[in-house]
Amino acid sequence: MTKTLVIGAGGQIGRILVQQLADQQQPVVAMLRDPQRVSFPASVEVVVADLEGDFSHAFRGCSRIVFTAGSGAKTGPDKTLLVDLWGAKRAIDLAREQGVEQFVMVSARTAGDPDKGPEAIKPYLVAKYFADEYLIGSGVPYTVLRPGRLTDEPATGRVTTQRPDDAVEQVISRADTADVIVQCLGDERALGEVVELYQSDRDDKGVFL
């Protein structure tokens, strides 16, 4: 069975995603910088690695990659550059070398045009823009997901790729975002797609592609 590497498994989306994959009995590798901070089911393979160091060993045996790592809001532009851009670039290079079948990048809603995003996070959006572009041009089979403003609300199962006109409604929960990642993995319809993700008020569940 195909094994999935989750880069950024210690983050909020990453933790939900790893748990979901484990619950579905899908082989998953959780890449963590500090394994003492997170507890996963025994079925989850944990690999200790840092995006600022050598993390090539984490890719062994993995044919699907999910990049949901981030430098965090409390760090400066230097970490944004090293993690969100350079770390992503190196992960994409490793994926290309190993011939992985899918690389899912968790990006941000205005990464396609950082000038339209909040000024306070512009360095992050610029890093995401160039990481996304590098992935798209890498030759690695990709899926780029650009979720709206993230919330901690429970999953609704109702997701749209159409950006709401009202900025207040341009939100999606981390749980719904993780659900979409699971749906994308191994789905040929998701390959080559760059989509934004928002909570929907429609009743049809799980329709996003």
Catalytic site residue from 124, 129, 142, 198: 124
Do β-strands 193-199 and 159-160 pair in parallel, antiparallel, or remain unpaired? Answer: antiparallel
- By residue range, what is the domain housing residue 114? 4-199
Do residues 73 and 112 touch, judged by C-beta distance below 8 A? no
Q: Give the domain CATH number at 151.
A: 3.40.50.720
pLDDT digits (tens, 9 = 90+) for 95-105: 999 999 999 99
Residue 178 parent element (H or E): helix 174-184
Is residue 208 a part of any domain in this protein? Answer: no
| pLDDT at residue 209 in the model | 56
Q: Which residues of 91-129 are buried (b: 16+ CB within 10 A; e: fewer)?
A: bbebbeebebbbbbbbbbbbbbebeebeeebebbbbbbb
> Mean pLDDT for the chain?
93
State whether residue 69 is helix, strand or coil.
coil
Give 55: exposed, middle or buried? Use CB within 10 Å, 0-12, 13-18, 19+: buried
124 is catalytic: yes
In a domain, 209, yes or no: no
Higher pLDDT, 9 or 167: 9
Above 70 in pLDDT, residue 205? no
- In this structure, of 2-6, 45-49, 75-79, 120-124, the range with the lowest mean pLDDT score is 75-79
Q: Indicate whether 163 belongs to any domain.
A: yes
Looking at residue 206, its pLDDT comes to 53
Q: Among candidates 101, 74, 114, 89, which has minimal Cα distance to 3?
A: 101
Q: Considering the domain boundaries, does residue 156 fall inside one?
A: yes
For residue 98, being part of any structural domain is answered with yes
At 85 the three-state DSSP class reads helix
In a domain, 122, yes or no: yes
Q: Give DSSP secondary structure letters for 114-140.
A: GGGS-GGGHHHHHHHHHHHHHHHTSSS
In a domain, 177, yes or no: yes
Quote the number of domains for the chain.
1
Domain assignment present for residue 206? The answer is no
- The pTM score is 0.94
